[in-house]
Structure 1
Amino acid sequence: MKVLSVASKKGGVGKSTTAVTLAAHLAGRGRTLLVDADEQLRSAWYWVTKKEGYAGWGFDVQLYADFIARADPGQGYEFVVMDTKGGEDRDELAALARNSSLLIVPTKPDGVSADGLVATLQPLLEGGTTNYRVLLTDVPPAPNSDGMDMRLELDNADIPLFHHSVRHAVAVSKAAREGICVRDVKGDRYAKLVWMDYELISREVLNHVR
């Protein structure tokens, strides 16, 4: 069983979007469970269970309380994707990295996040932890260079990054409102492009954990 934790100190960076969409991709590679550990917002849970009768996910979903109540949590699954509570501090991120096959830290290239992110991930750097990757999400299109600028800043700080990033697209919020996978959003050509972005991310994840 591979445990993939999606966590971030900062909110609104695509944490639940990444957990949900990554789980949908991994479901095509093995039996997958999505666990929503955000007991306050439950964004992933409400997204996945919103549309009754929708069969486009391919994975199972549990709330964290139900997950840990089992005698054998995650038993029978090849992948467990954990959408964490969010707002994790330095020590919590380090603990998640130790207890996960891979820790995924989404962040937006908003021009002010790089220094704070480096400081938050410093214990992982100092401890020699390698099983985490920062994922740039909601990256604006050219000629805006925020995505490239932040990638260079993090790379210069020796922060491990996914090679691919996720573009900005309103299709993501449409998918969440409708309770469907982003690939199934109609009338928005960017929906398929975002789905392809996460396909590339899922391949990087598999290369890391296998």
Structure 2
Amino acid sequence: MNVISVASEKGGVGKSTSAVTLAAHFAGRGRTLLVDADERLRSAWNWTTKKEDYAGWGFDVLLYSDFVAQAEPGQGYEFVVLDTKGGEGASELVALARNSSLLIIPTKPDGVSADGLVATLQPLLEQNVTNYRVLLTDVPPAPNSDGLDMRLELDTAGIPLFGHSIRHAVAVSKAAREGICVRDVKADRYAKLVWMDYELISREVLNYVK
């Protein structure tokens, strides 16, 4: 069983979007369970259970309380994707990394995040925790260079990043409102492009955990 945790100290950085969309990708490769640990907002749960007759997910979904109440949590699944409660500090990220096959930390290149993120992740560097990757999300198109600038800052600081990023697209919010996978958003060419972005990330994850 591969446990993929998606966590972030900041909100609004694409944490649940990444967990949901990656779970949909992994579902095509093995039996997959998405676990929503944010039982206050339940973003992943609400998104994936909104449309009862929709069969496009391919994975099972549970709230964290139901997941841990099982005799053998995750038994029978090849992939368990954990959408954390959010707001994790440095010590929580260290613990998540140590209990996961891979920890994914999404962040937006908003021009002010790099220093704070480096400070948050410093304990992982100091304790030689290596099974995590930062995922740049909502990256604006050229000529805006925020994505590249932040990538360079994090790389210089020794923070491991995914080789690919997730582009900005309103298709993501459309998908969440409709309760469908971004792959199935109609009349929006960026929907397929974002799906392809996450396909590339899913391949990087698989290369790491297998």
The TM-score, its normalising length taken from structure 1, stands at 1.00
Distance in 2 between residues matched to 1:24 and 1:73, nearest whole Å:
20
Could you tell me which residue of structure 2 aligns to residue 181 of structure 1? 181
Distance in 2 between residues matched to 1:102 and 1:127, nearest whole Å:
16
Q: Deviations over 1:24-75 (max 9, x none)?
A: 0000010000000001100000000001110000000000000000010000
Could you tell me which residue of structure 2 aligns to residue 5 of structure 1? 5
Could you tell me which residue of structure 1 aligns to residue 162 of structure 2? 162
Q: Deviations over 1:178-200 (max 9, x none)?
A: 00000000000000000000000
Q: Which residue identity does 2:71 align to in structure 1?
A: A
1:69-84 maps to which residues of 2 (within 5 A)?
69-84=69-84
State the percentage of identical aligned residues: 85
Could you tell me which residue of structure 1 aligns to residue 151 of structure 2? 151
Task: Give the secondary structure class of the aligned counterpart of 2:165.
Answer: coil
Task: Give the secondary structure class of the aligned counterpart of 2:33.
Answer: strand
Could you tell me which residue of structure 2 aligns to residue 191 of structure 1? 191
In structure 1, stretches of 5+ residues that fail to align are none
Kindly tell me the number of residue pairs found equivalent between the two proteins.
210
Could you tell me which residue of structure 2 aligns to residue 133 of structure 1? 133
Task: Give the secondary structure class of the aligned counterpart of 1:75.
Answer: coil
Task: Give the secondary structure class of the aligned counterpart of 2:81.
Answer: strand
Q: Which residue identity does 2:17 align to in structure 1?
A: T
In structure 2, stretches of 5+ residues that fail to align are none
Q: Deviations over 1:109-168 (max 9, x none)?
A: 000000000000001001111100000000000000000000000000000000000000
Q: Which residue identity does 1:117 align to in structure 2?
A: L
Pair 1:104 & 2:104 matched: yes
Q: Which residue identity does 2:142 align to in structure 1?
A: A
Kindly report structure 1 stretches of 4+ aligned residues shifted beyond 3 Å.
Answer: none
Task: Give the secondary structure class of the aligned counterpart of 2:133.
Answer: strand
